[in-house]
């Protein structure tokens, strides 16, 4: 049975329960515990992380490696331990996009990626603090030297 969300941006969304990611810690400063990933345009590198609880809450996200092939996520031992994900490979990684008027000016937050793990009862996602050198909060997506975040 799909969930219905009356999105303020996209109108009525039918979301399959399997598409919902659980965020045990929410997003930093925004909270929320359940979001779904939406692809609104097939050829776009951008997806939307849409809250299934708040119809007005959605963030554009992208997978980092298409833009930053050398991107690394480095968690401190304390962070990995507190998340209980030591040694567990993420199934997916996303970064939030600061969408400005011109796509040339878009930036992404490489400092706080969203990592998805399998989870015991379904996919779980955590916005983590990336300790990799050069992984800043506002990195131009289309910078010439797009390997800035490579460690």
For 137, list phi and psi in degrees, rounded to 5. Answer: -80, -20
Per DSSP, the three-state class of 108 is: strand
Number of residues that bind another protein (CB under 8 A): 42
Q: Which of the 8 DSSP states describes residue 34?
A: E
Task: Spell out, one character per residue from 4 to 23, where the chain touches another protein: x when CB under 8 A holds, - when not.
Answer: -----xx-------------
| 143 contacts another protein (rule: CB under 8 A) | no
Kindly report the number of other CB atoms within 10 A of residue 122's CB atom: 11
- Cα angle: 82, vertex 150, 85; to 5 degrees: 20
Residue with tokens 């460690």: 151
Of residues 17 and 84, the one with the C-beta less far from another protein: 84
Shortest distance in whole angstroms from residue 1 CB to another protein: 26
The residues that touch another protein, with contacts defined as CB under 8 A, are 9-10, 24-25, 27-30, 44-46, 57-62, 65-67, 69, 82-84, 96-99, 101-104, 109, 111-112, 127, 129, 137-138, 141-142, 146
């Amino acid at each position: 049975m799909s969930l219905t969300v009356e999105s303020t941006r996209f109108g009525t969304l039918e979301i399959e329960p399997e598409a919902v990611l659980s965020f045990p810690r929410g997003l930093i400063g925004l909270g929320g515990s359940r979001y779904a990933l939406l692809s609104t345009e097939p050829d776009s590198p951008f997806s939307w992380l849409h809250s299934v609880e708040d119809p007005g809450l959605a963030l554009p996200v992208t997978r980092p490696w298409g833009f930053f092939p050398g991107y690394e996520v480095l968690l401190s031992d304390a962070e990995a331990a507190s998340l209980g994900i030591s040694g567990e490979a993420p199934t997916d990684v996303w970064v939030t996009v600061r969408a400005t008027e011109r796509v040339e000016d878009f930036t992404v937050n490489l400092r706080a990626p969203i990592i998805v793990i399998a989870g015991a009862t379904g996919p779980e996602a955590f916005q983590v603090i990336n300790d990799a050198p050069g992984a800043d909060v506002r990195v131009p997506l289309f910078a010439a030297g797009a390997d800035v975040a490579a460690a």
